Each structure stands twice: as C-alpha cells, then as structure tokens.
A = this chain, B = another copy of it.
Amino acid sequence: MKLEKITSGRSYDDACATAHALDLIGERWALLVLRELMLGARRFGDLRASLPGISANVLTQRLEGLESAGIVRRRKLSPPASVQVYELTAWGAEAEPIVLALGRWAVRSPWHDPSLPLSPVALMLSFRAKFDPARARRVRVSIGFRFGDETFSVMVRDAALTTARADFGATEAQVSGAPGSVAALIYGKVRLEKLERQGALAVTGDRRMLQRFVDLFELPSKADTST
C-alpha cells in the first residue's frame, strides 16, 4: 500500500526517518491525539473534550489515519460496557519520547502561555517530562490527583517517577482542582495556601508530602533567542 493512502496526506518523499515521522504524525492535531492516549484508552467524546478546538470530522480523520498506520487501535470494550474506545498500539506508545521532547523544548519558549486551558493528561505527562532523577534520590512520595471524575496517582521512589490512571487509594496526599491550578503550584511556585484560599485547589492527607513533591520541580528557565 502506498504511504499517501495511509495518512491520506502528502508525503515528504524523504528517506530521512524524521521526515517519515512527520508523514505519519505531522498532520495538525495528530500528536495531541497521541498525547491524550498516552495514559490509556479514551472515548471519542473524551478526546474531543480534552482537545478544545478540534472539530469532530478532523478527529475522525486523524483517528482513521493513525489507525491505518498502526499507531492507534479502536477496540470495543466487553459487555456490559460495550463502548468503543481508542488506544495506542505498542509502537504508538513508543512515541512518548517525541511528545516529551517537544514539551521540554517549548516550555522554554518566550511565547509560552501557561494560563491557557490544560488537560489532565497533559499535566501528568509534564511530570514525566520535567522529572529529574538526580533531584529525586532519597525522595519517596505518592500523590493522588482528581480532575472532575478523572483520578491519577503519581509515585516517586528509587529516583523514578510513575504515573497512572488510578484511584486516590493508597496515596499519601490528594489534590483536587483544575489542572492549571496544579501547574501553578508546581511550575509557577504559587503557594499552596494561596491556591486553597482561592478555592482553586483542595488538599487532603499529608500536606508535607505534597510539598515534597512540589519541590522536586524547578521553575523552567526561558530560552536565549539572541545567540
């Protein structure tokens, strides 16, 4: 099968693998769809809600293209759920370093505006992108996050960070609020007390553990565009 038929876009006709990657996932919205699938299967409507601005027909096209390229798979959940979801193939999941590399680079952009809407998955992935193992040695914490009806757990131990969709369950501290408010706490270094007073965040459990987690991350430095 010809490549143009797979993504139904134009090909760069370049043997360079980077160019080929752009043939596969370089179309508008494609990489953000992958981002939203990085933490597990999602429904069509979930994806639409997490990608403000995408229209239904474009999302349909992207999912079709990614599916025929072997990056995304559609699956029907077993009854009684019987609902259709989209998930990454093993190869699709291997695109995570691309998503993280893009984030690490652009967070230093002078034009980056952290006040825009932020999806829960995007926030969770940002932890993976900015996590510094050297800084996390000897730190052992587990934090739960709740955004609406989505919950996640983040664990730091043995200088490694793991993120997953999971119950608050066995975490040491739990945070509820908007993803952007959590970002303000961690990356903007806004004081937790202030965010609680504003009603932006609600915390239960061991607050000192949460602060220990926050201190794992530093303020991103802005890039030098003059040299």
> Which residues does A use to contact B, with CB under 8 Å?
3, 6, 12-24, 26, 28, 31-32, 35, 52-53, 69-71, 89-91, 94-95, 97-119, 122, 125-126, 129, 180, 183, 223-227
Closest chain-B Cβ to A47's Cβ sits at a distance in Å of 13
| Given A21-B105, A26-B28, A103-B18: A13 and B223 interface contact (C-beta under 8 Å) | no
Q: Is the CB of B21 within 8 A of A103?
A: yes
Closest chain-B Cβ to A119's Cβ sits at a distance in Å of 7
| Given A15-B180, A90-B223: A102 and B22 interface contact (C-beta under 8 Å) | yes
Give the docked Cα–Cα distance between A115 and B115 (Å): 46
| Given A15-B114, A32-B22, A116-B15: A223 and B101 interface contact (C-beta under 8 Å) | no
Oligomeric state, in number of copies?
2
Q: Is the CB of A89 within 8 A of B14?
A: no
Q: Is the CB of A106 within 8 A of B24?
A: yes
CB-nearest residue of chain B to A122: B16
Q: Is the CB of B89 within 8 A of A225?
A: yes
Q: Is the CB of A108 within 8 A of B91?
A: yes
A122 contact set on B, CB distance < 8 A: 14-16, 18-19
A15 contact set on B, CB distance < 8 A: 113-118, 122, 180, 183
Q: Which of B3, B69, B94 contacts A108 (CB 8 A)?
A: B94
